[in-house]
């Protein structure tokens, strides 16, 4: 008795013709959030808004995709974990895989020489410093940033929209927007 193999028919699609953009591998943008930003949307909505970190990260992924980038997100309450991510981003930038970093270092912004050194150590990888609140309109200890002198750009006081502005800035720097 002959055995009949039933297969699901597959549509025959024309093979894609790579254009100038399609021929390039999609690069990645890394969104780094520091201490306490895991609490976004759960407390202090008057200062930091009502968007949760998960919602913000999903927005960043969607916005990056619209501009032709893969987006990876990482949050940590630990300074060393953020430094490890920046060092790894530097290697990935050198390898041509990563286009830039959006960094909200939270309160480490105002304290961390180690983060300043880490960003300096991965130049010319563009790191955009983001703050949800306008740090200059707040307590004086928030007016100084160790990140700013090493950053390729700074977005301050636009709420969580600042992350999208930073992604757009990175896309422009990478020549993609
Ligand atoms: O405005 C920003 O994005 C800050 O980086 C946020 C940091 C603050 O230390 C910086 O001065 C400015 C604090 C992040 C804490 O996030 C929370 C979110 C919700 C509830 C509590 C804290």
pLDDT tens for each residue of 89-121: 999 999 999 999 999 999 999 999 999 999 999
Q: Which helix (H) or strand (E) holds 88?
A: helix 79-94
pLDDT at 163 over 60: yes
Specify the 3-state DSSP secondary structure of 65: helix
Residues with C-beta less than 6 Å from any ligand 1 atom: 36-37, 39-40, 43-44, 48, 104, 106-107, 109, 131-133, 135, 142
38 alpha carbon to ligand 1 midpoint, in Å?
10
Q: Where are the beta strands (DSSP E) in the chain?
A: 28-33, 70-75, 98-104, 127-131, 153-156
56 three-state secondary structure:
helix
- pTM tops 0.95, yes or no: no
pLDDT digits over 33-87, tens only? Answer: 999 999 999 999 999 999 999 999 999 999 999 999 999 999 999 999 999 999 9
Catalytic site includes residue 131:
yes
Overall size of the chain counted in residues: 177
Q: Which of 163, 145, 150 is nearest to 29 (CA)?
A: 163
Reported as a pLDDT band with limits 50, 70 and 90, residue 18 is very low
Q: Which two tokens stand for residue 52?
A: 């949760």
DSSP designation for 91: H
Annotated catalytic residue 110:
no
């Amino acid at each position: 008795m002959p055995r009949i193999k039933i297969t699901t028919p597959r549509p025959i699609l024309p093979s894609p013709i790579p254009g100038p953009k399609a021929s390039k591998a999609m690069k990645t943008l890394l969104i780094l959030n520091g201490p306490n930003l895991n609490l976004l949307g759960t407390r202090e909505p008057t200062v930091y808004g009502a968007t949760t970190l998960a919602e913000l990260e999903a927005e960043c992924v969607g916005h990056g995709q619209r501009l032709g980038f893969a987006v990876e997100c990482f949050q940590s309450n630990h300074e060393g974990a953020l430094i490890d991510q920046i060092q790894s981003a530097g290697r990935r930038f050198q390898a041509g895989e990563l286009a830039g970093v959006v960094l909200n270092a939270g309160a480490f912004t105002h304290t961390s020489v180690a983060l300043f050194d880490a960003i300096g150590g991965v130049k010319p990888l563009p790191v955009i410093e983001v703050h949800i609140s306008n740090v200059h309109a707040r307590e004086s200890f928030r007016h100084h940033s160790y990140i700013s002198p090493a950053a390729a750009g700074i977005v301050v006081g636009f709420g969580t929209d600042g992350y999208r502005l930073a992604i757009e800035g990175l896309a422009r720097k990478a020549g993609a927007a």
